[in-house]
Structure 1
């Protein structure tokens, strides 16, 4: 029986594990809600159609973070003339009567604010049937309060402040005056009934960023965390810490969740664990040199809380353990030593499109660099590279060959030290460090010591081998294993106590 492109796309959709992307579309900002053991992940459904038919919310559900079930449109576009032609980011809460409330951003490029830019508004909808259907309440719509730009009033995050006995709403906003690049502020409104909202003092006003997108705040074991995404400097999701909901908010040494390619992450908790749901951006033209695009593939990171309150990030164990079929392993352990040069080793087995690498590296003091090679040529000369740089305290993503700018030998982007937007700070003192890498087709998520994650896309190199290397130093490769996923169709583990989602 002949297989059509649509059949192939649907098969790819059905075979997804640990990541999610709808067929013929992409995942934008995720609005996570956890209830009765199931994660309900509302998301901005990006079709990239031109002209646009309006942005809707779709919903996907999961109870094990591995298998995702799309339930279709949750909040449709309001139509070409509506304030919510584009249904943008927001949040979900449930009141004392069990009614679910969705607060979301409405935007229509035909409706302009006082500043001449498309107006942004906060809108309200409720559900009395377990989030299956929603009723819009246009009478509750409101725009920017005085002192803020009318075209930046979005991403409402609503939560209950039990101590104050009211509901708080955080809003991505910008002051109407001041240096254009530093007007970003998390505005605040308060309510007693989830219907009538009053302006309050700004929740956080650092005067540092262009905007604080997709803000959220939560408490965890005596610490409060403020999370938002910014596109002023590095397109990163960042966080701050405080012992109080009212601050002061302190920046940890490493205040980002991931790198440039992972954006707009928001979280939901279950059984004392907290998971962040963001998207790994695509690149234009599906090439390694293409510009980053808005929206991509849903990916999950789990946060762990260190004793000092700082957060560590890595893929959930539920996703990592799906890679349990051995492909290759280094035996016995090997030491790579190159005091003034470079040395590598490449495993002979060719890896499939989806695989996991687990490398335990014992780094000798004074070593300049070491790491792993992905989809490498057998001689190790061409590969994607995840490079640990102890002297600079960072993990970087690189590739070779880089872009060619001409036919001459020297006409190559050799002056580019690495993919500069894909850099993560990480402490690398002498001793053992674990580098774990999940590659799933185009997707790549690397984690150092279960604490620092870096996500990206891999387009140009689709096959090859796995290896390890050292540059100007010495590293003992204690172990290097490559695994792939179990056979399709086998049952996946569920989170303890999870209830089956109904669709």
Structure 2
């Protein structure tokens, strides 16, 4: 895979396989972000927690892994997903899933950092695995937070009959946990707009926005990803009306930062949209999304937006986008409130088309013709309710970083995708008057 497809400002290790983001937390003005990582592309290699830090949530510094498997320990085959909190002693404490290949569940473990989040102690069991009579088939990915009175924990699960559930626990001291039953559950089905709700829910993330609790879940079904992160609002009928937090093809495995200077944030894993035999060409796979600010729309649903600090990546003033020739693969587009199609033409018949439709209130991302490489996946995805009610003067902001595309609409809808044009720059933009372009550094 060509170097022009390498992301520059999205978090990723220089080589190996990356997937779920884990436990973003701010400690003394520095944000620590962890992520599932293997130093090689072989996915049978035990997962470890990669580690990156930032002081502005835009520019990141990679560090040595913060956690690796403990030989003969309860995570000997992988340090899987979870989150972090600051405990009563001021230490960063991780809760995560420990993988042992021959056991039926990924047990919920905890480990403490005595150096501000750079490394963690040997793990201990945090809660018991489900009992056999509960008929639980999948159990993993704890998320812990303090609700102002007690510590709360949710864990993703699936039980017999393809019933996805979020199990809930609470504790006074992070040591003794009491199981409080299933907070939310739903039998697998399709939503009204055709999204598979999953046989199980992994990576559950609890967040309070606008006084309403929501849980983001990654819909999962027996060894394959359904591909959507769904929002379950803790409101009457909320579980019966799940909706996606991202309308694209790549965003999965959400990770919530409940408290930040910009309010609640969500990160996600942006999966490769390439056949696995193409990964070796680039030597790496997977990136972490941009952090996204969460808010409520007028209809009460969760919306997301890029951080204002993203503006600091702009290299100079905006230029007219229509007709621009790009000598970089890292740029931002801002599209005006006008019904029109904007084309990113890569050459040799390769292009991505972003269509704004004011009458239909939609934004569509078409990457069906993004690459001539037969190993690249294709798709056309549309975000509904994308424009009306928005408070922005623009319709769409588009961030392109090598093979990564993240689209944000005026009404807080997000679309993510991966595109793999075989042609390096110069690339051409065809848009409408008022569209603006920035190179990013």
TM-score, with structure 1 as normaliser: 0.72
Distance 1:430 1:248 in 2: 24
Shift of residue 167, structure 1, vs aligned partner: 2.5
Q: Aligned-pair distance for 1:321?
A: 4.0
The structure having more radius of gyration, on CA atoms, is 1
In structure 2, what is the equivalent of residue 484 of structure 1? Answer: 439
Match of 2:173 in 1: 193
- In the alignment, what sits opposite 1:496? none
Decide which of 248, 265, 278 is 2:268's aligned counterpart.
Answer: 278
- Where does residue 207 of structure 2 map in the other structure? 218
**Residue matched to 2:129:** 143
Structure 1 match to 2:8:
16
Equivalent-residue separation in structure 2 for 1:149 and 1:170 (angstroms): 18
Report how far residue 155 of structure 1 moved: 0.3
Cα shift at 1:68: 0.7
Find 2:379's aligned residue among 403, 412, 419.
Answer: 419
The C-alpha deviation readout for 1:36-80, integer Å capped at 9, x for no partner, is: 332111111133443734111121111112211122111111237
Q: Residue 147 and residue 200 in structure 1: after superposition, are their counterparts in 2 closer, same or farther (change >3 A)? A: farther
The equivalent of 1:459 in structure 2 is: 420
Q: C-alpha distance in 2, partners of 1:142/1:250? A: 26
Rounded to whole Å, the distance in 2 between the matches of 1:238 and 1:430 is 22
CA distances 1:326-376 after superposition (whole Å, capped 9, x unpaired): 57416xxxxxxxxxxxxxxx615344211211121423xxxxxx3210135
CA distance, structure 2, for counterparts of residue 138 and residue 481 of structure 1: 53
Equivalent position of 1:366 in the other structure: none
Give the aligned partner of residue 49 of structure 2. Answer: 57
1:162 aligns with 2:130: no
Q: Does 1:28 align with 2:14?
A: no
Change (3 A) 1:272 1:189: same
Counterpart position of 2:307: 316
C-alpha distance in structure 2 between counterparts of 1:446 and 1:140, whole Å: 39
CA distance in structure 2 between the partners assigned to 1:398 and 1:220 by the alignment = 31
Shift of 1:214: 0.9
Whole-angstrom distance in 2 between the partners of 1:288 and 1:266: 27
Distance 1:16 1:394, change over 3 A: same
How far 1:105 sits from its partner (Å)? 0.4
- Equivalent runs, 1:286-365 vs 2, <5 Å: 296-300=286-290, 301-306=292-297, 309-326=300-317, 328-329=319-320, 347=323, 349-363=325-339
2:195 paired with 1:227: no
Structure-2 separation of matches of 1:405 and 1:52: 27
Distance 2:268 2:85 in 1: 19
Cα distance in 1 for partners of 2:389, 2:246 equals 24
- How far is the alpha carbon of 1:465 from its aligned partner? 0.3
**Aligned counterpart for 1:372 among listed residues 336, 342, 345:** 342
Q: Distance in 1 between matches of 2:33 and 2:371?
A: 38
Q: In structure 1, how many angstroms separate the alpha carbons of the residues matched to 2:78 and 2:417?
A: 28
* Number of equivalent positions: 417
- Offset, 1:286: 8.1
Match of 1:64, SS? coil
User: What SS is found at the alignment partner of 1:21?
Assistant: coil
Secondary structure of 2:309's match?
helix
Unpaired segments of 5 or more residues in structure 2?
A: 189-197
Aligned residues: CA RMSD: 3.8
